[in-house]
Structure 1
Amino acid sequence: MRPTSRGIGLAAGALVLLAAGLRFGYVELAVLGAAGLLAAVWAVLFVAWRPTLALTRVADPDRVPRGEPSTMILTLRNAARRRSATLAASDSCGGRPVTVPPLRLRAGRDTTVTYPVPTHRRGRIAVGPLRVTRADPLGLVRFAQAHGDPVTVWVHPRILPLSAIPAGVTRSMDGRSDTVPQGSITFDTLREYVIGDDLRRVHWRSTARMGELMVREQLDTSLPRLVVLLDDRAASHTPLTDGMSASFEAACEAAASVVAAAAREDLPVTLHLVSGVSEEGFSPLDALTAAEPQAASEETFRTATTRLRQQKLGDTLIFLTGPGGRADLGQLATVRTAYPLQVSVVLGGTGRAHPSGWSGGMLVLNAEDGDTFAAEWNGAAG
């Protein structure tokens, strides 16, 4: 509870009037001073009563592509049985205050208010807590209190329409490529038995050693596997403008589009960042939402390519970078044996200076932004 500047001025003036009236015998001044003090005391008592509020916060939806609408729904319940209250409130949305319509809380009733969440920028937006303010009608005393836990709205990169994706050099059994005559199933890993597993896949030697049923997990090596490598080094991208790098935002959109296209075709795809920064348990779209340009040394890209070569995560490598990463395209030749098909996309530059085409055994696409990337990609696929 805090007095306002008006409240402080009124209380100070009332004390002066009351003291002067009593000191010099002016009844009128004493009455005015006493009235001012009574108003201040009444304001304190008025604000001292605070309704007991229960807040429920829902983001609809809580994951949305950049530019698509998302709505925050606040439901407040006044637990008081008899007294209603009208409160002013503001919410915190991405660290910025958002004015909420006045809350008219009837006793024992729910009140629902909504407001749009700004989704014009990719990223994680923390929304909340709700700051409820109660003041007396004269504006002498104000009390503010936070209610509810914050929630996170994930603004994903835009997903651009891609007509096709590289099929790699292997063949899935539904005929995506014809490099090999048949698909093949091979051992991948061991895991604990769960109800419904085929008992023919039980690995009895491991079961005897570990004391519980272990089954073999199989992998279809004939299915093309895509690896998307996003260059998140700050030096590879255009400088920040209003907190964003245009080429990095375009690279995130390109990565999200490739991942979505692979999922649509039921192809395995993994996302990796050059910096090696990873968020455990995140989906690829959530990881792209949280990605930010990182300050990295010259050895960071070399370390990333070494890691890809050693782990051999797929057969098709799609590298997404900015204008500053063009000089590193030659290093991708070191992973050619592990990833025979390579596509490099340089975003943020102009296609006039560097036209798209095959270079050094890889397909290099040049695009100014996400929309240009989709056009270049679809043109190459056609």
Structure 2
Amino acid sequence: MTTQIRPPKIPAADPSRRAPRAKRGPKAALRLAFIEVTLPLRRAWFATAPIREAVRPYLAKLVAGVQVVSALGWTMLGAAVVFAALGARLGWREFSYLAAVLFFLVGGAALFAIGRTRLEVGFDVAPKRIVVGDAAAVQFSVKNLSSLPLLPIGLEFPVGEAVAGFTLPALAPGGSFEDVAVVPGPRRGVIQLGPVTTQRGDPFGVVRREVTWTDPIDLFVHPRTVPLEPLGAGLLRDLEGRTTRDISMSDLAFHTLRDYVPGDDRRYIHWRSSAKYSGLADGERFMVRQFLDTRRSHIAVVTDVERASYNSDEEFEVALSVGASIAIRALADEMDLTLVCGEHAAMQPPPHLALDTYSRADYDGWELAAATGRLNHLAPDASVVILITGPNCGFTEFQRARSFLPREVATLALRVNLGSRISLQDSVGLTLVSIGRLADLPRVLAGGQLI
């Protein structure tokens, strides 16, 4: 006989015994009210997306048209509306006349901006890189592509923070105009030239329409440099490096043979010469190869860009000129080069890009120690590191910067102190040299050895 097991009956929930709903706090109530208010707005925003996309080009044209009217023009329009309202309210014809005159002036000024200008504008700078004190030539060429004559219009192009401009003469259909302007480079830096724009509008500046024709061009003003003698060999051995006078037991530059001494590597025993000398002598005599050390330097130059390290902008400019001079000499010596000037850095740059780095350099918050730490991250295989700073950087700061570098790295610190004499201070792992002018640098590095 089979016994059936029935599941127990679950009593129905008593509505009167339901757990009471937790009361909402003031924040939850405020959040719920905010959602209830903004939900219809968000739904309407998404629903009107296709309409907004279709209207956007027309809105852009409307905004461009509004920008054509200058602040003076909008002031005149506002005054005209006020005078018209006062004339209608008070019944004074004088206010109505003033409003009509202002509307007429703004409408007449708008006629000067009507029309499409079809031009072909050429804009070039030669050379694009100059030294402090030199100048560059900016050449313009404008051609009228329209079938109608072109009335005289203004042509402007920014030169750094300034704006240069001249009046473009009237051009017949297909006519052209060329002009050359000279841009001096009195200070180191990067001067942005352009873009070239034309302006159409009334003589009083009520309405003004600008059209941009070219892209901007950067003019690099490099710091002054001084010629230096070769910097010499570094501390990093490399099979592609130069031969030095230092003796090495393993390299490619073979120098001579010498007697074997205990501890020499047997792989470098010259067996033919050893057999020859052993036959002449009474006992065994081994000869080993001896090489000259070859080294390929990886020189790194760190220029301090902290304003507190210098007494004047002139000292900062001399420090950048010192770094640029060493960089150009290192590249001429076919050394590996890494540059750090605050936020600007360059690794293995060609000469013009190395100088561009110094043109872009400016004061910022990078301390010398932080910049040296960045250098160690960019070029951990540097063999010679040169730290350049001003007179307010003490020996303690140099030692702190030196702590970011490996012990085997040769470190030279150059401190620019205008008007001072050349001085030398040597410490463990660091050589500190003070110079008073840029012309002292060749004397400091004379002989080609950095340390």
Following the alignment from structure 2 to structure 1, what is the Cα–Cα distance between the partners of residues 380 and 103? 77
Residue 289 of structure 1 aligns to a residue whose secondary structure is: helix
Match of 1:234 among 300, 306, 309: 306
* 8 Å Cα contact 2:304/2:387 also seen in 1: no
Shift of 1:262: 1.9
- Verify the 8 A CA contact 1:73 1:114 in the aligned structure 2: yes
Q: Which residue of 1 aligns with 2:417?
A: 348
Distance 1:109 1:322, change over 3 A: same
- Distance in 2 between residues matched to 1:43 and 1:335, nearest whole Å: 68
Q: Which residue of structure 1 aligns with residue 163 of structure 2?
A: 98
Q: What TM-score, normalized to structure 1?
A: 0.68
Q: Describe how 1:352-371 pairs up with structure 2 within 5 A.
A: 352=421, 355-356=423-424, 358-360=426-428, 362-371=430-439
8 Å CA contact retained: 1:256, 1:285: yes
Residue of structure 2 aligned with 1:257, choices 325, 338, 356: 325
**How high is the sequence identity, in percent, across the aligned residues?**
19
- Which one-letter code corresponds to 1:55 in the other structure? V
The 2-side partners of 1:360 and 1:261 are apart by 26
Q: Show structure 1 runs of 5+ residues with no match.
A: 186-220
Correspondence for 2:134: 68
Out of 112, 121, 125, the position equivalent to 1:59 is 125
1:346 is displaced (CA, Å) by 0.7
Measure how far apart 1:176 and its partner are: 6.0
In 1, distance between residues paired with 2:241 and 2:299? 21
Once the two structures are superposed, residues 271-330 of structure 1 have per-residue CA deviations (whole angstroms, 9 ceiling, x without a partner) of 234x5753689632222222233314686267357648x8222x3222222223332333
CA drift of 1:63 comes to 2.0
The code of the aligned residue for 2:358 comes to: L
Q: Quick check: 1:127 aligned with 2:193?
A: yes
Mapped pair 1:179 → 2:240: no
Could you tell me whether the CA contact under 8 Å between 2:390 and 2:415 is conserved in 1? yes
| Rg larger for | 2
Deviation at 1:270, TM superposition (A): 2.3
In the TM superposition, what whole-angstrom CA distance separates every residue of 1:50-69 from its partner, at most 9, and x where no partner exists?
42223232121112222221
How far apart are the structure 1 equivalents of 2:332 and 2:429? 27
CA contact (8 A) 1:223 1:267 kept: no
- Residue-by-residue CA offset, 1:174-233 (whole Å, 9 max, x unaligned): 966312468649xxxxxxxxxxxxxxxxxxxxxxxxxxxxxxxxxxx9343142331334
Distance 2:362 2:302 in 1: 11
> 1: distance between equivalents of 2:135 and 2:150?
33
Question: In 2 relative to 1, CA 183–360 (structure 1 residues): closer, same or farther, beyond 3 Å?
Answer: same
- Closer, same or farther in 2 for the Cα pair 1:316/1:35, shift >3 Å? closer
TM-score, normalising length from structure 2?
0.59
The number of residues matched between the two structures is 329
Determine if contact 2:232/2:448 at 8 Å carries over to the other structure: no
Aligned runs of 1:151-230 on 2, under 5 Å?
A: 151-169=217-235, 177-180=244-247, 184=252, 222-230=294-302
Using the TM superposition, give the Cα deviation of residue 128 of structure 1 relative to its aligned residue in structure 2, in angstroms.
1.8
Q: Indicate conservation of the 8 Å contact 1:276/1:304, yes or no.
A: no
Q: Is 1:320 equivalent to 2:415 in the alignment?
A: no
Asked if structure 2 preserves the Cα contact closer than 8 Å seen for 1:365 and 1:377, the reply is: no
1:41–1:321: structure 2 CA closer, same or farther, 3 Å change rule? closer
Q: 1:47 touches 1:135 (CA, 8 Å); kept in 2? A: yes
**Following the alignment from structure 2 to structure 1, what is the Cα–Cα distance between the partners of residues 448 and 189?**
30
Q: Unaligned 5+ residue runs, structure 2?
A: 1-67, 254-292
Cα 1:325–1:119, aligned 2, differ >3 Å: closer, same or farther?
Answer: same
Q: Secondary structure at the match of 2:319?
A: helix
Aligned mates of 1:174, 1:295 — CA distance in 2 = 37
Q: What secondary structure does 1:346 align onto?
A: strand
